[in-house]
Amino acid sequence: MNADLHAGFGTGSDAGFRAGFACFVGRPNVGKSTLMNALVGTKVAITSSKPQTTRRAIRGIVHRPDAQLVIVDTPGFHRPRTLLGERLDSLVLSTLTEVDVIGFCVPANEAVGKGDRFIVDKLAAVKKTPVIAVVTKCDLATPEQIASQLLAVSALADFAEIVPVSAAGGERLDVLADQLIARLPESPPLYAGGELTDEPEQVLVAELIREAALEGVRDELPHSIAVVVEEMAPREGRDDLLDVYAFMYVERPSQKAIVIGPGGARLKDVGTRARRQIEALLGSRVYLDLRVKVAKEWQRDPKQLRRLGFYD
């Protein structure tokens, strides 16, 4: 993330008002994106049961009368196996040094493991930033499991707080928000009122298409999918219709066949589900032209990574 996190739009100052940045970090598929969406109150980050769904540092904005909390959702931290993986981990590390408070997420229904300890070791290097441990997915665990996990997490490090939550059920989200906001600096708002994210619409649309594509594909395929919106504009002479032209990139011809499906059925289904989500996001009817291209081994190719929006 090259832009200064604290570049915003606030003017004036309210006494006692707090504003700043928090980020959620954790191994892949621990519920970070779902948690951010729940706190913001709307969908600003895509979610999937597939690990490593998040590939960008997406910001969601929580507005309260006393505070403005900007949450940065980061990719899952893992030991990288590709150049893309290295860049995603680098993105997480740079984000950790730029926020005011960190939420370290561990699911209630999975034992603490090597991946969690790996992240705790990385967090130890960010000495001046408070870390709140967030035990996620409590709706999927018994009270006994939650109690056991709270003890296991407390043994990992000396966290500022440990908060069990359920994003799906909305349980203790207010407690978590209070704990995060308490560690923000006094500041006027950083973003204009009503904004829920600062992501460009084309990036959000591309992410919604990728989310639709991730559902139901084989386990090895999600990491090979990238989506780029080439063009997005109102149709000439039509104020009620938006034309979206997008390309879905995969790494091999065999993957292209999987995405398209027999007779194009799967690609049509992806397009239909993505179009509904895009229309809900933009509040407009959408014509979606979605095509599939092969970009050989793009996860390992610096030139192709840059073209797909993954920079050094």
Predicted confidence at residue 232, as pLDDT, reads 83
- Which residues does residue 312 pair with via DSSP β-bridges, in sequence order? none
Sheet holding 241-250, edge to edge: 226-234, 241-250, 285-294
Q: Does 311 have pLDDT greater than 70?
A: no
Q: Is pLDDT larger for residue 142 or for residue 98?
A: 142
Short-list 57, 100, 99, CA closest to 76: 57
Q: Is pLDDT larger for residue 300 or for residue 176?
A: 176
Q: At what angle do helices 201-214 and 265-282 cross, to 10 degrees?
A: 140
* 42-65: average pLDDT: 60
Predicted confidence at residue 51, as pLDDT, reads 40
**Residue 146: other Cβ atoms inside 10 A:** 18
Radius of gyration of the chain (CA): 20
224-240 pLDDT, tens digit per residue, is: 788 888 888 888 888 78
81-134 pLDDT, tens digit per residue, is: 555 555 555 665 666 778 899 999 999 999 999 989 988 988 888 888 999 999
Percentage of residues in the chain having pLDDT higher than 90? 32
Predicted confidence at residue 191, as pLDDT, reads 81
Lookup: tokens for 28 = 């892949």
180-206 pLDDT, tens digit per residue, is: 999 999 999 888 766 666 566 777 788
Cα–chain-centroid distance for residue 21? 15
Q: Which residue has the tokens 């598929």?
A: 29
Predicted confidence at residue 54, as pLDDT, reads 41
Q: Does 74 have pLDDT greater than 80?
A: no
Predicted confidence at residue 214, as pLDDT, reads 78
**Cβ atoms of residues 76 and 29 within 8 Å:** yes
Strands 101-107 and 226-234: unpaired
Short-list 267, 227, 220, 223, CA closest to 246: 227
* 163-175: average pLDDT: 94
Q: Is pLDDT larger for residue 92 or for residue 163?
A: 163
* 65-92: average pLDDT: 67
Per mean pLDDT, which range of 68-77, 158-167, 211-220, 253-262 is the poorest? 211-220
Q: CA-CA distance, 198 to 186, in Å (whole number)? A: 21
Element (H, E) at 11: none
Instruction: Report the helix count and the strand count for the chain, using DSSP H and E.
Output: 9, 9
What is the residue-averaged pLDDT of the chain? 80
Lookup: tokens for 10 = 């606030």
Strands 67-73 and 58-64: antiparallel
Q: Does 147 have pLDDT greater than 80?
A: yes
Specify the pTM.
0.60
Q: CA-CA distance, 234 to 299, in Å (whole number)? A: 33
In degrees and rounded to multiples of 5, residue 60 shows phi and psi of -115, 145
Q: CA-CA distance, 130 to 132, in Å (whole number)? A: 7
Cα–chain-centroid distance for residue 240? 30
Short-list 223, 264, 270, CA closest to 246: 270
Predicted confidence at residue 190, as pLDDT, reads 86
15-53 pLDDT, tens digit per residue, is: 689 999 998 888 888 888 889 889 988 665 544 444 444
Buried b (16+ CB within 10 A) or exposed e, 203-240: bbbbbbbbbbbbeebeeebbbbbbbbbeebeeeeeeee
Q: At what angle do helices 114-123 and 83-96 cross, to 10 degrees?
A: 50
